[in-house]
């Protein structure tokens, strides 16, 4: 791809999510020689990518900085890096729960701050990336969208709803993985070989998701299409559709994740 930002690119931290972002960009043609990863472990990331344990000593000003440490490490890394960023540096943060105001207090130099919440399927270009930006003009927003487009579906979100999006889309893959595991376990408990149940559950969820993606109907309508009156699918849906069953469970799950995001936001303030 023609990477939409010219100049040096820094990753401050590069764990699972940061590594997935970088890996996808490299797969799409980003020159690894432009990338420097600064991480405490100095563990290699990808061929051609420079890995350091401290900011580059050559004084180069980064065009793009991806802040990808754990939120609790924000105040450990900010003092060392904030003076090195310039007005034209685009600061992208994927720190859950850390609001734009909190980022600006610690990194006052960049004009544009982009808060992003990706999820793990970005590694295969099928993720969801929620964005909220400040200091971005129309061209800056377009550039941000181009930057994130190789990772998956890009959605702009008001920052007041970022905790909700983080819980739904950011944490959502983990919740879905648990569902797949539970579906397989239920099949195994009913008598299937455990490995076969796992294969069937995963293939079922994969196929159903692809079907839902291309369908005009809502997922709720698709479920009703599968379930004939008096049939076995309807009997199972009657359990899931009980007021205290699946919807209530997911609401409690999302609420717990939202609450934790808000606790982290309060700590970062």
pLDDT tens-digit map of 199-240: 999 999 999 999 999 999 999 999 999 998 899 999 999 999
100 and 123 in contact (C-beta within 8 Å)?
no
pLDDT at residue 116 greater than cutoff 90: yes
Q: Facing residues of 91 across strands? A: 65, 113
Q: Facing residues of 52 across strands? A: 38
pLDDT at residue 126 greater than cutoff 80: yes
pLDDT at residue 1 greater than cutoff 70: no
The secondary structure of the chain as a DSSP string is ---S--S-EEEE--SHHHHHHHHHHHHTT--GGGEEEE-TT----STT-EEESSS-TT-PPPSEEEE-S-GGGHHHHHHHHGGG--TTPEEEE--TT--HHHHHHH--S-SEEEEEEE-GGGGGT-EEEEEEEES--HHHHHHHHHHHGGGEEEEE--GGGHHHHIIIIISHHHHHHHHHHHHHHHHHHTTS-HHHHHHHHHHHHHHHHHHHHH-SS-HHHHHHHH--TTSHHHHHHHHHTSTTSHHHHHHHHHHHHHHHHHHHHHHH-
Reported pTM: 0.88
> Which pLDDT tens digit goes with each residue over 44-100?
999 999 999 999 888 789 999 999 999 999 999 999 999 999 999 999 999 988 999
> Which pLDDT tens digit goes with each residue over 15-45?
999 999 999 999 999 999 999 999 999 899 9
Q: Facing residues of 128 across strands? A: 153
pLDDT given for residue 203 in this prediction: 98
* Arithmetic mean of pLDDT, 237-259: 94
pLDDT at residue 138 greater than cutoff 80: yes
Q: Hey, what domains does the chain have and what are their CATH numbers? A: 9-169 (3.40.50.720), 172-264 (1.10.3730.10)
Percent of the chain's residues with pLDDT above 70 = 100
pLDDT given for residue 104 in this prediction: 96
pLDDT given for residue 269 in this prediction: 77
User: 165 falls in which pLDDT band (50, 70, 90)?
Assistant: very high
User: 265 falls in which pLDDT band (50, 70, 90)?
Assistant: confident
165-189 burial, b at 16+ Cβ within 10 Å, e below that, comes to: bbbbbbbbeeeeeeeeeebbeebbe
pLDDT given for residue 171 in this prediction: 94
């Amino acid at each position: 791809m023609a990477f939409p930002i010219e100049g040096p690119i820094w990753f401050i931290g590069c764990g699972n999510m940061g590594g997935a972002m970088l890996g996808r960009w490299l797969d799409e043609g980003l020159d690894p020689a432009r990338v420097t990863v600064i991480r405490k472990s100095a563990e290699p990331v990808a061929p051609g990518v420079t890995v350091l344990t401290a900011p580059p000593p050559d004084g180069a000003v980064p065009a793009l900085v991806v802040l990808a440490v754990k939120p609790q490490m924000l105040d450990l890394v900010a003092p060392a890096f904030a003076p090195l960023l310039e007005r034209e540096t685009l600061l992208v943060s994927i720190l859950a729960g850390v609001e734009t105001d909190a980022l600006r207090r610690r990194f006052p130099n960049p004009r544009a701050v982009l808060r992003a919440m990706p999820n793990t399927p970005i590694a295969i270009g099928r993720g969801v990336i929620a964005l909220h930006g400040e200091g971005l003009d129309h061209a800056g927003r377009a550039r941000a969208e181009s930057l994130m487009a190789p990772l998956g579906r890009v959605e702009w979100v008001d920052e007041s709803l970022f905790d909700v999006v983080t819980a739904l889309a950011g944490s959502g893959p983990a919740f879905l993985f648990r569902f797949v595991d539970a579906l397989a376990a239920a099949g195994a408990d009913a008598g299937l070989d455990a490995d076969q149940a796992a294969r069937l559950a995963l293939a079922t969820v994969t196929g159903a998701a692809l079907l839902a993606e291309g369908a005009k109907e809502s997922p709720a309508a698709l479920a009703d299409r599968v379930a004939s009156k008096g049939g076995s699918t309807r009997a199972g849906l009657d359990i899931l559709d009980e007021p205290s069953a699946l919807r209530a469970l997911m609401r409690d799950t999302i609420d717990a994740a939202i609450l934790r995001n808000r606790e982290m936001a309060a700590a970062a303030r």
